[in-house]
Amino acid sequence: MKVQQHQYQLRFQQTEELIKRFFGEKRIKKYLKALQNHSSHILDHSFRVALLCVDLGFENKFGEREMQLLGYAGLLHDIGKVQIPLEVLDKDSILTSFERELVNEHTRSGSQAVHGFGDDLKRIIVGHHEYQENSYPRKKTERRAIERKEKGRRKDNPLIESLTEILAASDSYDALRSKRVYKPSKDKAETKRIMLNQYTGDSKYINQLLTR
Ligand SMILES: [Fe+2]
Ligand SMILES: [Fe+2]
C-alpha cells in the first residue's frame, strides 16, 4: 500500500514523516487495507485529511499524544464507510432518507470499529460531523443536554473538542477541494465561502486550512 500524492502545501516538514510512520503501523494498516479494498478514494481522502490534521496540529502546538490522535483520527475517521455500499457512497443524485441514515451511521459504526486506541479516538471519530449544519449523530442541542446531564463524566474535554474541530474542518476542506465522482473540486474562494457558512467550529481552523 502506497502513500498517495496530494495537492496541499503543508507548512511543516515533519507532517509527512509522521503520517508515513502511522501508515506503517501494523494496527493501523489493517484498517487502511479495509478502506482500500472498499474504495481507494476513501483511502486517499483519509490520507489527505490526516496530513491536514497533523499539519494544523503542529501549527497549534499540540503535544505528542494529541498529534498521534490527530493522525490516527484523520486516517480512520471514515472507517465506518466500509460497511456502506459504493452505489450509495458514490450516488450522484439525492439520497433517499434510508440511504442518508445509512451514510450518517458511519460516525458511530466507525468509532465502534476502532479497537485498542482508547476512548479519546472513539470520541473524536464519532464527532467528526458535529461541527456542520445538520450535524450528526448528535444535534448541537442534544450535545449540550448530554453534557449537562453527564457533567464531569462523559463530557468531552476541551482538548478533545479542539481535536475533533480540527478533524471536522480538515474533512470538509478536503471534501470541497477534491474532485469526487459526483462533483468537481471547488477553488479556495468558494471553499472559504461555504465553510464560513457551514462549519460551526472555531473559524481560525478555516483560515489555517486556506493557507495550504
Ligand atoms: Fe465522515
Ligand atoms: Fe471524511
- In this structure, what DSSP letter does residue 11 have? S
Alpha-carbon distance 179 to 177, whole Å? 7
Name the closest ligand to CA 41.
2
Tell me whether residue 139 is in a domain. Answer: yes
How do residues 26-63 score in pLDDT, each as one tens digit?
A: 999 999 999 999 999 999 999 999 999 999 999 999 99
8 lies in a domain? no
5 falls within a domain:
no
Residue 154 has pLDDT above 50, yes or no: no
Q: What is the pTM of this model?
A: 0.91
**What pLDDT is recorded for position 144?**
59
Confidence (pLDDT) at 92: 85
Distance 87 CA to ligand 2 centre (A): 17
CATH of the domain at 70: 1.10.3210.10
Q: Please check the confidence at residue 153 and state whether its pLDDT lies above 60.
A: no
**How many other C-beta atoms can be found within 10 angstroms of the C-beta atom of residue 30?**
9
Query: Is 202 within a domain?
Result: yes
Report residue 170 CA to chain centroid gap. Answer: 6
The set of cell numbers assigned to 208 is 489555517
Q: What kind and span of H or E run contains 46?
A: helix 40-59
Distance 100 CA to ligand 2 centre (A): 15
pLDDT digits over 59-81, tens only? 999 999 999 999 999 999 999 99
pLDDT tens, 93-104? 999 999 999 999
pLDDT > 90: percent of the chain: 78
Closest-CA residue to 172 (of 139, 140, 134, 146): 134
59/65 Cα distance (integer angstroms): 15
Question: How many domains, the chain?
Answer: 1
Measure the CA–CA gap between 49 and 70, rounded to whole angstroms: 10
* Residue 2 maps to a domain: no
Ligand nearest to the CA of 103: 1
Q: How far is the CA of 77 from the centre of ligand 1 (A)?
A: 6
How far, in Å, from the CA of 128 to the mean position of ligand 1?
6
Q: Is residue 9 one of the residues assigned to a domain? A: no
What's the gap in Å between 175 CA and the centre of ligand 2? 7
Instruction: Give residue 134's domain range.
Output: 14-210
Contact 77, 122 (CB under 8 A): no
Q: Could you tell me if residue 7 is inside a domain?
A: no
3-state secondary structure of 4: coil
Pick 3 or 182 by higher pLDDT.
Answer: 182
Query: Range with the lowest mean pLDDT among 151-155, 162-166, 182-186, 193-197?
Result: 151-155
Residue linked to cell 453527564: 150
Per-residue pLDDT band at 124 (split at 50, 70, 90) = very high
Task: Give SS3 for 62.
Answer: coil
Measured from the alpha carbon of residue 43, the closest ligand is 2
Q: Are 203 and 196 in contact (CB under 8 A)?
A: yes
Where are the alpha helices (H) located in 60-203, listed in sequence order?
Answer: 64-76, 86-89, 97-104, 106-113, 119-126, 140-149, 158-177, 188-198
Ligand nearest the Cα of residue 106 is: 1
4 domain residue, yes or no: no
Asked whether the predicted pLDDT for residue 152 surpasses 60, the reply is: no
